[in-house]
Amino acid sequence: MKPPRICSCGLKVASGVMCRCQIERKAQADKRRPTARQRGYDSKWQHESKAFLARPENRFCACGCGRIADVVDHIKPHRGDMKLFWDRNNWQPMASSPCHSSRKQSLERKGTE
C-alpha cells in the first residue's frame, strides 16, 4: 500500500483517492465542456467510424496488443479542430479498454500525445 499524500489544498488524502477539491474542480470543468455531440461525435461520426472499423486492416488495436478494435481514436488530439477531426489519416483503430480508456488518455493528460 502507498502512504497517504498531501493534496495541493493541504489536506491529507489516501492513496488512489481524489481530494474533495479535485472532485469539485473536475465537476466545474465538466460543466464547461461541450457535449459529445457538440464536439462532433454525432450520427455522421457513428456511421463513419463504424465503416472505418469494418475495414480488414483496421480490425485489431493499433497498439499491438492483439485485441479487436472497437473504437476509432484520433492519433493527434483534435481539440475541436474539425479538419483534424475528420482527417482519416489521423484515425487509428483501438480497443476501448484498456488501450483507449487508460493508456492513450493517460498519455494525452501528460501531454506526450
Task: Note the pLDDT of residue 108.
Answer: 65
pLDDT band at 97 (very low <50, low <70, confident <90, very high): confident
Task: Note the pLDDT of residue 113.
Answer: 53
Pull the grid cell for residue 85: 477531426
Which residues contact residue 14 at a Cβ distance below 8 angstroms, ignoring those fewer than 6 apart?
A: 4
Ranges of each domain in the chain: 1-33, 43-110
pLDDT tens column, 31-85: 998 888 888 899 999 999 999 999 999 999 999 999 999 999 999 989 889 999 9
Task: Note the pLDDT of residue 7.
Answer: 93
How far, in Å, CA of 74 to CA of 46, rounded?
14
pTM over the 0.75 mark:
no
